[in-house]
Amino acid sequence: MQRLPPNACLLLISITSCARAVQLGGQFTNQSAPSLLQALGKVGPAVQELFTTNAVCSKSNCINPVFPGLEDLHALAHSSWTCTSLAKIKESMQFCQPVIDYDPALQAGSGQTIDELALKQDGAAASAFFYHLSGLGYDAWDHTEPGLTGDDCIKAMWRMACFTYFPRAQMGCVDGNPSLYLRPCQSSCQNYIRKCGVECCDESVQCVFTHQVTLSNNAVVMTEGYAPHDGPSSMCTGAASRRFGGIATALGLPVLLMLAELFLGSSASPRERRSAPLPFGVFARLATSVLKSPLLPCIVIALTLQGCLVDDIFSDVPTHTIGNWRQEPDYLMLYEFVPPAGNALDAKLNSCSLAHLAENLQCSGRGVCKQWSTKGDQFGKSFCECDRDYADPECVTKRKSQAIAYFLSLFFGFAGADQFYLGFYRQAIVKLFTFGGFGLVWVVDMIRIGSGPVHTQQFRVAEDLPRWVFTLTAAMVAILLGVAIAVLTASNLRATRQKGRIISAPEVEEAHMTEPEPVPNKASAFSAPAYTYPASFAPGPVHHSQFAPAPMPSYGISPYGAVSTTAPHKSVVM
């Protein structure tokens, strides 16, 4: 027998049991009921890990370890802890102070004060947060104050790290007395999965689990996940979940039917139900149709499943035995520091925590150690701040160039070359087949990449593009783009007018052809056309003396003393 995770159970039970259960009239038959009960009877404890394979899924934030501080859970659970009060250690905490609002337990240590123990655990939480950020491809130095960021993923990661290294003290425990290690609640883990969008394309991302690890000396270690309780609880450490689970959804389904019957009584006719006012009518019809469906029992059962066992009957389902996130490289091993002339057994986490290491060996010689907070650099609270062209906790990873990304976006952004370079292949393919998002995405990406360092699949690009280069090229591109738009608009207008002339030319020619020609005067080709006067206005005989020129005016002195420019004249009649 092997254990199949919940979403595969939903698929298999829906196919094998629910399909046989839906008959004419929506009733269960004697053949379908035993099949469903048999499937339910196979739900049991985990025997062997088995995960379904999803070939069309895209991974997101799937790293190893998938949760911050996960690999320390086993060691923390087997350590000794003592109870203390929050008031005693609150001033000693820096990184986790805003998160811890309960009386925590401190890891027992010989010869150390309470403040030193609290500062040590605070540094361990900061280290888990710093390295997990790097594993996700974030630049950790951009989030030294996670409580002030607007990224919910960063906040969820911060809370999980603090809940892991500052467990809640057992209820009723007196200061100084021993306490058990209370693991973080599953609700805190679920909040992190949801806020960060963790997707590994299988069922390995589980908050509550048991995992068997075989060490190099053939020793077997059984590791466990988080506590199977929702916070806040006295049995785990953490906050409340921000969404309802499958059981809450299943219990809420009958409430929908009750509300439907409240808005539309059970005695209402179908006509009355259809004519009910919106939105109550739509809600009632939808709730009634869903809740009276014969598939409802299958949905309720599937929502409450936590896994099921499968045998040879489901052997054709593609599966794998190692979770996808466990197949990823461990970022704690990837970013560890190996001293000179040492081997993998001498590897340490955070070269800045080695007090006697030469400065030119710290941070791979490409950065400096910088205090994470103002409370000193002991207990791993100093980390590498890398030079411009390098990233990761040990300054080993070479950053991609902002200048290269910008010029790729400038000249080949229409084909998605900039996104290929940055590692975002899906966006690049979309830009390739849409000519840069119809030109709009091309311009937006060009401005976005040139105005500041953008993120890649791993860390930000190196800020090696001078500001004046971006300003000059952006202005030139804007001018050329404006000229090109003006030329295209003018050409289009000219072509439209020319097309209008070509279309109207035959009509003008046809109008000229149909117009009658004027009849010329036979007397003279240059004579004006004859005009026929009406009889009442016909002119009489004209004497030639009527057209005699007027005499020249005689200028004299006007009665007012001014020179007269005009003089009366008479027509001479002959």
> How far apart (Å, rounded) are the C-alpha atoms in residues 402 and 100?
40
Whether residues 82 and 201 fall in one domain: yes
Q: Flag whether 552 is in a domain.
A: no
Last residue of a domain, one of 445, 469, 493: 469
Question: Same domain, yes or no, for 321 and 342?
Answer: no
Angle at 430 between CA 428 and CA 433, to 5 degrees: 110
Domain boundary among 410, 438, 469: 469
- Show Cβ contacts of residue 454 under 8 Å, excluding neighbours closer than 6 positions: 402, 405, 422, 448, 460, 461
Separation of alpha carbons 209 and 231, rounded Å: 18
| Token digits of residue 432 | 């390739």
**239 in any annotated domain:** no
Q: Which of 224, 259, 280 is the last residue of a domain?
A: 224
Shared domain for 106 and 206, answered yes or no, is yes
SS (H, E, C) 157-180: HHHHHHHHHCCECCCCCCCCCEEC
Q: Under the phi-then-psi rule, with left for phi > 0, alpha for psi from -120 to 50, and beta for the rest, what region is 365?
A: left
Q: Does residue 49 fall inside a structural domain?
A: yes
The number of residues making up the chain comes to 574
pLDDT for 366: 92
412 and 384 share a domain?
no
Q: Within this chain, do residues 32 and 75 fall inside the same structural domain, yes or no?
A: no
Contact 417, 409 (CB under 8 A): yes
Q: Residue 204's beta-bridge partner residues?
A: none
343 and 320 co-located in one domain: no
* pLDDT tens series, the chain, 574 aa: 444 444 444 444 444 434 443 333 333 333 333 333 333 333 334 446 788 888 788 899 999 999 999 999 999 999 999 999 999 998 888 899 999 999 999 988 777 888 889 988 999 999 999 999 999 999 999 998 898 888 999 999 999 999 999 999 998 888 889 999 999 999 999 999 999 999 999 989 999 998 887 766 677 778 889 999 998 888 999 876 555 444 444 455 555 555 555 544 444 444 444 454 544 455 556 555 655 666 566 666 555 444 444 444 445 678 888 899 999 999 999 999 988 877 878 888 899 888 788 888 899 899 999 988 765 545 558 899 999 999 999 999 999 999 999 999 999 999 999 999 999 999 999 999 998 888 899 999 999 999 989 999 889 999 999 999 999 998 998 898 889 889 999 988 988 888 887 777 776 667 666 666 665 555 554 555 555 555 555 555 555 555 455 565 555 555 555 444 444 544 444 4
Give residue 323's Cα distance to chain centre: 25
**Contact criterion met (CB below 8 Å) for 375 and 119:** yes
372 and 263 in a single domain? The answer is no
Q: Is residue 42 part of a domain?
A: yes
Amino acid of residue 219: A
* Nearest Cα residue to 393 out of 487, 458, 325: 458
Within a domain: 520 = no
Domain that holds residue 374: 336-398
- Whether 497 maps to a domain, the answer reads no
- Same-domain pairing of 176 and 257: no
**One domain for residues 151 and 74:** yes
**pLDDT score of 339:** 84
Q: What are the distances in angstroms from CA 438 to CA 128, 297, 444, 447, 488?
A: 44, 49, 11, 16, 17
Domain count, the chain: 4
Q: CB of 41 within 8 A of CB of 133?
A: no
Amino acid, res. 500: G
**Residue (of 165, 143, 126, 166) closest to 353 by Cα position:** 126
Pair 220, 75 in one domain: yes
42, 21: one domain: yes
- The DSSP bridge partners found for residue 556 are 564
| Residues 76 and 214 grouped into a single domain | yes
503, part of any domain: no
Assigned domain for 371 exists: yes
Which residues neighbour 499 within 8 Å (Cβ) at sequence distance 6 or greater?
none
Tell me, what's the pLDDT at 534? 57
d(CA 17, CA 305): 15
Structure tokens at 236: 């785990």
